[in-house]
Amino acid sequence: MTETVVVLGAGYAGTGAVQRLKSELDPGTDVVWISEHDYHLVLHEVHRVVRDPDVADRITIPTERVAGDRAEFVQGRVEDVAVDDRTVVLADGRTVDYDYLLVALGSRTAFYGIPGLRDDAHTLKSLDDALAIHEDVAAAAEAATPGDPARVVVGGAGLSGIQTAGEVARYRDDHDAPVEVHLVEALEEIFPGNDPEVQSALRRELEAADVHVSTDDPVTEATGTEIQFEAAGAMDYDVFVWTGGVTGGEPLGRVEVDRDDRSNRIQAGETFRTSDDRVFAIGDAAMIDQGDSPAPPTAQAAWQAAEVAGINIARAIEGKPLQSWEYEDKGTLVSIGETAIAHDVVGMPVKTFNSYPAKFLKKFVAARWIAGITSWRRAMRAWSAL
Ligand SMILES: Cc1cc2nc3c(=O)[nH]c(=O)nc-3n(C[C@H](O)[C@H](O)[C@H](O)COP(=O)(O)OP(=O)(O)OC[C@H]3O[C@@H](n4cnc5c(N)ncnc54)[C@H](O)[C@@H]3O)c2cc1C
């Protein structure tokens, strides 16, 4: 009997898994790949679009380039998964049956119940989000004067927030635009939970780029024109981008498998199996058990997991034991406009460094990903955008 493996999502997790499944599965097994857009977005470089929308086509890869003849791509928005019937339900009413399912639908921005955020702030999780931020920054800059500059506030100083603030600062410099850039963080340090050495290096680089960094003061409310902080009171803004955290997207709430109550992400073991034997989950959509703490919601973790997920689904079909996955932190690469910080990168003799070597490494890692799912030719075309 022909088995059908269905993969949900065309981010790093879904795209990497499809690529691996193509080589792992025997030709008699069908692969159906479902996602809302017919392209893979190199999401960890989407902040580049905030500065320059022209880079968009270099960081989007048509899914057909990855699917080839081996996988069937279905464009559609996943609405629900009926695990008892083994059926995926799409928003337009179409249904797709599966024997094995890999959920790789990524995450959504967390608002933590802060009033006004959901309605008044931009989020950054898609190409459209990045284009909308670009348009608002450009319009605010156009309307501003050196005596009354536009104020762009980025809330949340994790990977997305730091890199977005860096791009807005670079936009300001490239266009000699009257724009103030603020990066605000509730916790005591930027890039929370990481080594103080990389936190200080990032703060130095942001300040050198003329980004105002403030920490230890949570946002308590936002309106269309003002942000309230717990300690500092009110701040006016022209553009507000909220990147404060990740949570499971809506359809995850409807997949009847165990989830983490706080984040709504699907609980998965080290083999990516969930509480349903036929359902696997990886990437930002999953809380993957790694002992003391789950794997982080990063591109790096998603593409590492995707490789093993492809192997494990093939093994599950063949009734073989599954491999346990262990996340390996290969280091941190963070851009701030035209420069970058590298920290703890495997094989590097210096622990933390910046400037061209860090920038080159960051470009190389993204290019290697693009080459892995398409070709080095395509990766080289993207190089200047990375
Ligand atoms: C601006 C920014 C900068 C970042 N920088 C870094 C970095 O420097 N390093 C790093 O390691 N990580 C970085 N990250 C985090 C990283 O991008 C994510 O951890 C990673 O994208 C997770 O991969 P994923 O495949 O799980 O999810 P995603 O890449 O988000 O993919 C999810 C996929 O599912 C699709 N989808 C979602 N919902 C539905 C639905 N209902 N129906 C159909 N399709 C759906 C989406 O369209 C997408 O194709 C950054 C993130 C952002 C936003």
3-state DSSP: the chain helix, strand, coil percent, rounded to 5?
A: 35, 25, 35
Residue 43 C-alpha to ligand 1 middle, in angstroms?
6
Residue 296 per-residue DSSP state: P
* Span between the terminal Cα atoms of the chain, in Å: 45
Question: How large is the average pLDDT for residues 216-238?
Answer: 97
pLDDT average, residue stretch 199-225: 98
Q: Is 12 in the pocket of ligand 1 (CB under 6 A)?
A: yes
In the predicted structure, residue 254 carries a pLDDT above the cut 90: no
- Which strands form 211-214's sheet, in the order they lie side by side? 211-214, 179-184, 150-155, 239-242
Q: Is the CB of 298 under 6 A from ligand 1?
A: yes
Measured from the Cβ of residue 85, the count of other Cβ atoms closer than 10 Å reads 11
Residue 339 confidence (pLDDT): 97
Question: Are 316 and 274 a contacting pair, CB within 8 Å?
Answer: no
pLDDT at position 245 is: 87
- 110: which 2 tokens? 């967390």
Rounded-to-integer distance, Cα 68 and Cα 73, Å: 9
Distance CA 233, CA 222 (A): 11
Tens digit of pLDDT for each residue in 121-137?
999 999 999 999 999 99
Instruction: Indicate the pTM of the whole model.
Output: 0.96
Cα-to-chain-centroid distance, residue 17: 16
- Residue whose CA is closest, atom 4 of ligand 1? 44
* Contact call for residues 16 and 302 (beta carbons, < 8 A): yes
- pLDDT per position as a tens digit, 330-363: 999 999 999 999 999 999 999 999 999 999 999 9
Q: What is the mean pLDDT of the chain?
A: 96
Q: Is the CB of 285 under 6 A from ligand 1?
A: yes
Q: Does ligand 1 have an atom closer than 6 angstroms to the CB of 159?
A: yes
pLDDT single digits (tens) 165-189: 999 999 999 999 999 999 999 999 9
Model confidence band, residue 293 (pLDDT cutoffs 50, 70, 90): confident
Query: How many Å lie between the centroid of ligand 1 and the Cα of residue 250?
Result: 15
8, 43, 255: residue to mutate for ligand 1 pocket, most atoms within 8 A of CB: 43
**What local confidence, expressed as pLDDT, does residue 359 receive?**
97
Domains of the chain are 4-109+246-318 (3.50.50.60), 117-242 (3.50.50.60), 332-385 (no CATH)
Q: Which string of DSSP letters, residue by residue, matches 313-377?
A: HHHHHHTPPPPP-------EEEEETTEEEEES-TT-SSSEEEHHHHHHHHHHHHHHHHHHHS-HH
232 in Cβ contact with 214 (< 8 Å): yes
What is the structure's pLDDT at 252?
81
Ligand 1 and 103: CB distance under 6 A: no
Whether residue 1 is predicted with pLDDT greater than 80 in this model: the reply is no
